[in-house]
Amino acid sequence: MPILIVGSVALDSVKTPFGEANDVLGGSAVFFAAAASHLAEDLHLVGVVGDDYPIGDLDFLAERGVSLEGLERSNGESFRWSGVYHYDLSSRDTLETRLGVFADFEPRIPDAARGADLVFLGNIDPRLQLQVLDQVESPAFVACDTMNFWIEGAREPLLEVLGRVDAVFVNDEEARQLAGESNLLHAARWIRERGPRWVIVKKGEHGAILFGEDSVFFAPGYPLEVIFDPTGAGDAFAGGFFGHLAAQGGDVSATALRRAVIYGSAMGSFAVEQFSVDRFRSLTEDEIAHRIGEFREMTSFERATSEVMDHG
């Protein structure tokens, strides 16, 4: 079941308490694809890089079955982001954002990807997200990500996007900012009233929440020994979410979406264990299955049948 991801393809420079990495693979589309490729085949990435991009470094995505036909190469500099994470890794300072060729990006969806059943609009200008929606046929499930920059600076097109997607991925601050509501339940309701049937709120170490019509689902944050580099966790989360939906044949029932949130949480937790997308180079099926089992174990509070027998 084909997935289309449109987003940034960047070079990140990151400093964390554990070390630093310079000009390494980054961007929402790259993290998404790296994570999703472990669960699904037939992924189509659309984005842009400059002529300085170490394009060969993306081979590992191609080898994992990701089509890079929609990756445009323009003259100029690639999108670069650099940041420093603080001691407790829950906050960061952006040192520099250089849009480069991304400033003039106009997404063109290859014919092979226009019929994708599942579409993820990474965190880019909502006007570009609308351009993508104009080019796809009739996807079964479309979600978008966004951020404070667009909530403040491109509110109208963002609201238009909301009216055309099935789900929104935001963090808790973004949800509150978008809705102008401090209560997360109210904020999610406000967003849902603008169009999307589902709101997925990512809360970092505190987990994630899926808000639906009359349901709320909580996924815990995976308790990591070391959070090596938080960059890309949210995009890997979305990749895991979509990858699971695709692997299950596009079942987008409430129960399927709950499981997808767990797969997203698992992929987000892997992403932060190493710099860049490096964890996804070595990740195995067994490791994924084991972590999904841990999520099940972390939230289970039912007595086993034998215990019910013992303790009445």
Residue choice 182, 284, 286, 309 for contact with a copy of itself (CB under 8 A): 182
What are the structure tokens assigned to 297, written together?
A: 């174990």
Determine the size of the site formed for a copy of itself (CB under 8 A). 46
In the complex, the smallest distance separating the C-beta of residue 223 from a copy of itself, rounded to whole angstroms, is: 4
In the complex, the smallest distance separating the C-beta of residue 156 from a copy of itself, rounded to whole angstroms, is: 27
d(CA 154, CA 164): 16
d(CA 199, CA 202): 10
Residue choice 33, 46, 165, 184 for contact with a copy of itself (CB under 8 A): 184
Q: Is 253 in the site for a copy of itself (CB under 8 A)?
A: yes
Q: Which stretch binds a copy of itself (CB under 8 A): 95-103, 139-147, 212-220, 267-275?
A: 212-220
What are the structure tokens assigned to 279, written together?
A: 């964890």
What are the structure tokens assigned to 162, written together?
A: 């909301």
Q: Which 261-300 residues touch a copy of itself, going by CB under 8 A?
A: 261-262, 296-300
Residue choice 93, 185, 289, 290 for contact with a copy of itself (CB under 8 A): 185
Q: Is 258 in the site for a copy of itself (CB under 8 A)?
A: yes
CB 13 within 8 Å of CB 1: no
Q: 3-state class of 74 per DSSP?
A: coil
In the complex, the smallest distance separating the C-beta of residue 260 from a copy of itself, rounded to whole angstroms, is: 9
What are the structure tokens assigned to 276, written together?
A: 């860049």
d(CA 13, CA 192): 36
Q: How many helices (H) and strands (E) does the chain have?
A: 13, 13
What are the structure tokens assigned to 217, written together?
A: 């689902």
Positions in the binding site for a copy of itself (CB under 8 A)? 87-89, 182-186, 203, 205-207, 209, 215-221, 223-227, 248-249, 251, 253, 255-256, 258-259, 261-262, 296-304, 307, 311
